[in-house]
Chains A and B, each alone.
Chain A
Amino acid sequence: MATLSSLLEYYYETMQEALFPLEEERKRIVKKLQTVALFMSIGAVVFFTVLHQHMHFAPLQAGLLSAMSGFLIFMFVYRHEKAGFTALFKDQVIEKLLYQIDASLSYRKESAIDEEAYRKSELFLEDYDRFEGSDLVSGSIAKVEVRFSFLHTQQKERDSKGRERWETIFQGLFFCADFNKAFKGKTVVLPDTAERTLGVLGTWVQRMNVARGSLMKLDHAEFEKIFVVYGDDPIESRYILSHSFMEKIVLLQRKINRPIYLSFVASRIYIAIAYTKSLFEPILTRSLLEFSYIKEYFQLLNTVVGIVEELKLNEKLWSKR
């Protein structure tokens, strides 16, 4: 794991200079988008006038039509420009930050955790209709095989009026690694929303969740408050979730401060950290020359890479060595 001071040094001594051309590119894109926005606004007004005065459209219809056309053309240009810039940003910022943290890791911006791993984890049992991901990092951290990437899974739904809607099942970081103990069964640790909001009734609701397996009550008060655990073997679940390991999960949860889902299936650990936005994507309005902006990406990567040490996944028991 790299420190913030090492990043500071790297940023000002090496990275910043390399970022100047990219920053110029960002400014060019912002300028271009501003110009497009201006032209589209003027175009929309002209279009409105033509529609309203020469083609006799009602003002509301003409207004909507011209505004929509202007907006769609703008969005087309925006998406095109943003995609190009995102690719450059990932090559020159994300990849470099990652190598600064651990040069042995491999980064593929267009790949992601595969669907098989997602399904095997059994973290999200809902059927998905859309599976998207990016920024796959893989390699060995402290001799532990690790893979993580951004993932976004969605389900198609229809509302009462029959309109199509995309509901997010999971959006965020998906991490999988070899676990340091050998086990055969399955243990799933989910954020405990039912018990926190409904109290004893919540426990009853959790017990009714038959798709998940048996509810496990664990002997760590704080862990129990934050998480709910399901598993198919009470002894094995406790073998995995030892006291010290539960303590580490609680600390990780506090550090990340996002909903965390964990599962332990066939000697592997899967961790999903939910976010409400895309990760590793640039924000066009922020300057790359601001250290605090780059620092956010660094900290995110550093935290994920640090999970191996945080959870001591590298301290393997004999049968796993």
Chain B
Amino acid sequence: METFLIIGGALLFIFIVLYNTLISKKNQVDNIFAGLDAVLKKRYDLIPNLVATLKEYMLHEAGTLEKITSLRSQALQPSLNAQEKMALDKELSSTLGSLMVTVENYPILKANENFLHLQHTLHEVEEQISAARRAYNQSVTDYNNALEMFPTNVLAGFMHLEKKEVLRIDVAERENVNVKNLFR
């Protein structure tokens, strides 16, 4: 009887440890996603100001500016799921990126203090977004590993936990923006 109790106790202990490991990994993914969401929000908050400043100078880019504004309002809808959010964010990133390249053609704009401030803040937020994406991917990898590795995979099967997808990070994004070029 005593042996059964010891074995039963040990099994229960192992079960608790494995269960908690899986739950903490799952929560870690959610936590970091919330962090990523927070920095994305920071960028959305910058956009109205940025668009207002650019509108005065970049008359030929009205279409792009409108697109950015509409992407922002779409992204701020509360009904979006994570995948949709990330897809919109990706589109916004590339549109903003190409817009920042065209800024080069507007020397007056590059001399505007307000714009420069916005540009630098945007760059800083983008660094934070990139960090948050990397952190998110690492937490997803840890979580997915736990789902596939023995013995946590057995329990994960019972708990109906599903693998999550990592965010694709473009090579250009992995390489940090050269701050020197940006501050010229």
Contact = CB atoms under 8 A, between A and B. Distances in A.
A181 B131 CA distance: 13
Contact of A235 (B35, B121, B175, B179): B35
A234 B32 CA distance: 8
Nearest to A318: B120
B138 A317 contact: no
Main secondary structure of the interface of B (DSSP, over half): helix
B128 interface: yes
Nearest to A214: B28
Interface stretch (A150-158, A236-244, A287-295): A236-244
Contacts of B32: 234-235
Contact of B121 (A236, A238, A244, A318): A318
Residue from A216, A235, A244, A317 whose CB has the most chain B CB atoms within 10 Å: A235
B144 interface: no
B36 A235 contact: yes
A235 B176 contact: no
B120 A217 contact: no
Interface string B18-46: 00000000000000100110010000000
Contacts, number: 60
B123 A318 contact: yes
A286 B142 CA distance: 56
Contact of B117 (A218, A245, A318): A318
B90 to A, nearest CB: 19
A315 interface: yes
Interface in B114-153: 117, 120-121, 123-124, 127-128, 130-132, 134-135, 137-139, 142
A91 interface: no
Interface of A: 181, 216-219, 234-239, 242-245, 312, 315, 317-319
27 contacts: A219-B137, A234-B138, A235-B128, A235-B132, A235-B135, A236-B131, A237-B131, A238-B131, A238-B134, A238-B135, A239-B127, A239-B132, A242-B127, A242-B130, A242-B131, A242-B176, A243-B175, A243-B176, A244-B176, A315-B179, A315-B183, A317-B127, A317-B179, A318-B117, A318-B120, A318-B124, A319-B124
Interface of B: 32, 35-36, 39, 117, 120-121, 123-124, 127-128, 130-132, 134-135, 137-139, 142, 174-176, 179-180, 183
